[in-house]
């Protein structure tokens, strides 16, 4: 294990210089071989194994406290899984794909699609899962043959110092360069003329990033979050739903873009859900000081959550802390998990993504009302229906649009390497993970191969009866629908 370097004042990074270096490397090796890409992915794999302890320590320092087990489970292991998946499928992903050809019009011609690298990809990483959300995308970015520049968050200074210091021993900066946020780096980074830009973060910042990228006609993939709801249907076991929802809500102290933001429960079962929550959470975390429970990332974020709780309570909501003893620790910016019942519709908890360990519980009488309520808001990044009724489930999937879905659980669709991950509408655009990620960071280049003898020569001027007959022969026929 390498000692975690301390974040110190560093000069503003030479972003144009780094980009120029990587562009030159792309020109020198425009189509990296499979062996080269395996070498790059292997380097990511070795780095994660060699520095797993240092990564856990750095992230814990950035948070104030975070369990090493939680970092291994939610960051290091998923990142290694993405790299492993890319290595397993790389050869198949890289193969040219044969496409059909209209034999009547083009005879013996041939079509194919060749996946080729885009060039240099920029990645802007949030603080909540900084290893997962940098190395996960890097698995498919490098598998696709690109170079990458990765800008870390201002809340990930210890981790950024480690990455900037140690990664060049595994991959040179003309392949992969990590950039620390020293102040003002983010806007300058998003204005660079990348070949593709991936941003994970809030919707307001995403709009600014997209506007900056638009000046360079740089395509973007945006992962923006949103108020992801869970819906417990009457047929589903309430205790099991509570256990699964609260596991997700307490993980990383709720600081997950795909966590359950709020839950809809049959109105006559709301108090049962609250009682179960008061049993489930203390069985997992004995108190606010539990070493398994994560701090809120910063005093500013802690204050925002506390103010939202106080506002809801002052407006008539019932606010219930779920741990014995103190519920707030301002010095350590820790906040106990809470459920909130009868939160007013116009309070902060019900108007914006919570991004913390607070779970509004909303009673409902009819599922159609829940669907209307969800659809009245921007599309969420995730939707979590709990039901064994397949007809009801199909109806919910058709009527409620979201970026992704986990059925009878929460969060775990994100952990599936074969499923694309991405939002829709205000929760984001574009996908990565697995084959969709490889496609996102590739130019799927269409190539038409003309045959030695081509029918198109028969269609050249001067036009006359012969050409008219050929056109009629080639023209698609009207078909019954």
Q: DSSP labels for 13-48?
A: P-HHHHHHHHHHHHHHSSS--HHHHHHHHHHHHHHH
- pLDDT, position 2: 47
Contact (CB, 8 A) for 225 and 236: no
- pLDDT, position 456: 79
Please state, in angstroms and rounded to a whole number, the distance separating the CA atoms of residues 288 and 291: 9
Parallel, antiparallel, or unpaired for β 120-124 and 334-335? unpaired
Write the DSSP assignment of 233-280 as a string of letters. Answer: -TTS-HHHHHHHHHHHHHGGGG--TTS--EEEEEGGGHHHHHHHHHHH
Q: What is the pLDDT of residues 433-464, one digit of tens each?
A: 999 999 999 999 999 999 998 877 888 888 88
Residues of the chain with pLDDT under 70: 1-10
Task: Kindly give, in sequence order, each residue whose CB lies less than 8 Å from that of residue 351, ignoring residues fewer than 6 positions away.
Answer: none
- pLDDT, position 479: 81
- pLDDT, position 7: 53
Parallel, antiparallel, or unpaired for β 147-151 and 176-179? parallel
- pLDDT, position 471: 87
In sign, the C-alpha dihedral spanning 125, 126, 130, 136 is negative
Task: Kindly give, in sequence order, each residue whose CB lies less than 8 Å from that of residue 26, ignoring residues fewer than 6 positions away.
Answer: 117, 119, 120, 146, 147
- pLDDT, position 481: 73
- pLDDT, position 9: 57
- pLDDT, position 1: 43
Catalytic residues: 223, 257
φ, ψ for residue 5 (rounded to 5)? -70, 150
Structure token pair of residue 476: 């698609």
């Amino acid at each position: 294990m390498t000692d975690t370097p301390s974040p110190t004042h560093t000069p503003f990074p030479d972003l144009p210089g780094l980009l120029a270096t990587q562009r030159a490397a792309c020109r020198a090796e425009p189509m990296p071989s499979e062996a080269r890409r395996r070498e790059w992915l292997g380097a990511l794999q070795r780095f994660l194994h060699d520095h797993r302890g240092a990564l856990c320590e750095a992230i814990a320092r950035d948070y104030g406290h975070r369990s090493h087990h939680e970092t291994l489970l939610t960051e290091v292991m998923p990142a290694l899984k993405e790299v492993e998946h890319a290595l397993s499928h790389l050869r198949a992903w890289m193969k040219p794909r044969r496409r059909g050809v209209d034999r009547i019009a083009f005879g013996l011609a041939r079509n194919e699609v060749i996946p080729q690298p885009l060039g240099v990809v920029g990645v802007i990483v949030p603080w909540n899962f900084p290893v997962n959300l940098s190395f996960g995308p890097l698995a498919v970015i490098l598998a696709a043959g690109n170079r990458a520049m990765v800008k870390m968050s201002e809340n990930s200074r210890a981790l950024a110092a480690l990455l900037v210091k140690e990664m060049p021993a595994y991959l040179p900066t003309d392949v992969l360069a990590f950039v620390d946020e020293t102040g003002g780096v983010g806007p300058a980074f998003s204005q660079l003329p990348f070949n593709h830009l991936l941003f994970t973060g809030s919707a307001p910042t995403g709009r600014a990033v997209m506007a900056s990228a638009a000046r360079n006609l740089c395509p973007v993939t945006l992962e923006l979050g949103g108020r992801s709801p869970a819906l417990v249907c009457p047929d589903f076991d309430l205790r099991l739903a509570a256990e699964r929802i609260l596991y997700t809500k307490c993980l990383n102290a709720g600081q997950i873009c795909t966590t359950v933001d709020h839950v809809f429960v049959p109105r006559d079962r709301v108090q049962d859900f609250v009682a179960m929550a008061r049993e489930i959470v203390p069985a997992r975390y004995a108190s606010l000081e539990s070493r398994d429970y994560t701090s809120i990332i910063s005093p500013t974020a802690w204050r925002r959550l506390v103010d939202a709780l106080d506002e809801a309570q002052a407006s008539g909501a019932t606010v219930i802390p779920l741990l014995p003893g103190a519920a707030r620790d301002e010095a350590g910016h820790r906040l106990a998990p809470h459920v909130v019942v009868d939160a007013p519709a116009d309070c902060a908890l019900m108007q914006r993504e919570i991004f913390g360990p607070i779970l509004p519980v909303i009673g409902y009488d009819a599922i159609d009302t829940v669907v209307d309520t969800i659809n009245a808001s921007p599309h969420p990044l995730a939707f979590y229906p709990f039901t064994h009724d397949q007809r009801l489930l199909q109806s919910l999937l058709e009527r409620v649009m979201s970026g992704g879905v986990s059925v009878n659980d929460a969060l775990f669709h994100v952990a599936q390497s074969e499923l694309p991950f991405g939002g829709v509408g205000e929760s984001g655009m574009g996908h990565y993970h697995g084959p969709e990620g490889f496609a996102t960071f590739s130019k799927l280049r269409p190539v038409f191969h003309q045959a030695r003898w081509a029918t198109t020569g028969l269609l050249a001027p001067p036009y006359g009866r012969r050409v008219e007959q050929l056109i009629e022969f080639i023209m698609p026929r009207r078909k019954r629908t």
